[in-house]
Amino acid sequence: MRAEDLQARIERRGDATVVRLDGVLDVDSSPSLRSAVLACLAAEPSVIVLDVAALRHRDDVALTVLPALAQHAAAWPGSAMTLAAAPPPLASALDRMAVARLVPVYPTTDAALAGAPGTAERMRVTLQPMLDATAAARHLVGRACMRWGVERVRDVAELVVTELVSNVLRHAGTEMEVGVARDRRLLHISVRDHGPGRPRLGGGEQEDAAPRPRASEPDWAAMNTHPGRPWPVERAWTNANSASVKSATALDSELEPMEEQLREDGRGLLVVSALTHAWGYTPVPDGKVVWATLRI
């Protein structure tokens, strides 16, 4: 079965997105579904509803891509992902694979749109690749933290968005869209650019290959070939010790000797990794979105 045998029609419904799937979902067509969902997430919808009324599946294992995509949507940009209108054979398979326990399933698309939770609050701004972009991004994040009553993470959030924007200025040099959103548990920060590179820890960007996993990171290559495991949808890191976030004053004093090295080598993502609950990047057709989340 060719990947193009799975078709996705995308509809915007206000702040929500409906993806109507038609065709067969299997190992070969899973990348098409992944690409469609990632393209939708770049617009940061409140909810993505996968209308699966016309979807068929070749084997149950292929369905594990669905909870992986839902997990990614929840991590960034804090969007809910639901299923709607599953025909009886597909609904039975979703139960067998425990997908229905991880991804809500609604009888109709309208019911999914009415019942699915989403991120309630968002702010964003489009910035040109100029030196004052970092100040504008900090202002957006600071204003959001004050408005939403999460001032305790404001200093850290401003530092994180500064590093993400600086990375765009240093490597991509394109127009960017900076976004900040809040749900019940997390503050989501994102910067979308139009550059071809991919971010990596340790400095700079690379064009194609992802950085080699550290010992504490999942082995994404192994997961891609292991039957029955969810297919990872992007490169992401979760920081287990992020609950004990240091104050910005303490961080400034610790990072001051590194300031020149960070500026010259582009190692700001190491700072992002140290300060956040999780961070990663999502490829989109015209660039990428680098995102980070803070516990609130």
Domain residue spans of the chain: 3-115, 121-295
**pLDDT recorded at residue 179:** 92
Give the CA distances from residue 156 to residues 199, 282, 292, in Å, rounded to whole numbers and listed in that order: 20, 22, 11
Query: What percentage of the chain has pLDDT greater than the value 90?
Result: 53
Extract the tokens encoding 47: 């909810």
Maximum average pLDDT range among 143-147, 214-218, 248-252? 143-147
pLDDT of residue 251: 39
Compute the mean pLDDT over every residue in the chain, rounded to the nearest whole number. Answer: 79
Buried b (16+ CB within 10 A) or exposed e, 246-270: eebeebeeebeeeeeebeeebbbbb
Segment 267-291 shows an average pLDDT of 87
Q: What is the pLDDT of residue 44?
A: 84
If pLDDT is split at 50, 70 and 90, which confidence band does 32 have? very high
Tens digits of residue pLDDT in 76-119: 888 889 999 999 999 999 999 999 899 999 999 999 998 876 55
The rounded distance, in Å, linking the Cα atoms of 183 and 122 is 9
pLDDT at 283: 84
Q: Mean pLDDT, to the nearest integer, of 61-74?
A: 91
pLDDT of 261 higher than 60: no
- Distance between CA atoms of residues 157 and 139, nearest Å: 11
Q: What pLDDT, on a 0 to 100 scale, did the predictor assign at position 37?
A: 92
What pLDDT, on a 0 to 100 scale, did the predictor assign at position 284? 82
Identify the band that residue 8 occupies on the pLDDT scale cut at 50, 70 and 90: very high
Task: Answer yes or no: is pLDDT of 258 > 80.
Answer: no
Residue-level pLDDT at 157: 96
Most confident of 189-193, 233-237, 257-261: 189-193
pLDDT at 237: 52
Q: What is the pLDDT of residue 122?
A: 85
Q: Is the pLDDT of residue 239 over 60?
A: no
Per-residue pLDDT band for 139 (boundaries 50, 70, 90) equals: very high
Q: Residue 76: what pLDDT?
A: 80
Q: What is the CA radius of gyration of the chain?
A: 19
Residue 224 has pLDDT above 70, yes or no: no
Q: Which two tokens stand for residue 118?
A: 């989403």
Amino acid 202: pLDDT = 60
Residue of 44, 208, 203 whose CA lies nearest to 124? 44
Instruction: Please report the pLDDT score of residue 79 as a whole number.
Output: 87
Q: Give the span between the Cα atoms of 259 and 191, in whole angstroms.
A: 22
**Backbone phi and psi for residue 118, each to the nearest 5 degrees, phi listed first:** -145, 175
Give kind and range of the element (H or E) at residue 189.
Answer: strand 186-193
What's 3-115's CATH class? alpha beta
Q: Is the pTM higher than 0.75?
A: no
What confidence score (pLDDT) does residue 206 get? 53
How far, in Å, CA of 152 to CA of 155, rounded? Answer: 7
Confidence band (pLDDT; 50, 70, 90) for 245? very low
Q: Given this model, what pLDDT does residue 254 score?
A: 42
CATH class of this structure's domain 121-295: alpha beta
Residue 41 confidence (pLDDT) above 70: yes
What would the mean pLDDT of 256-264 be, rounded to a whole number? Answer: 41
Whether the per-residue pLDDT at 210 is higher than 60: the answer is no
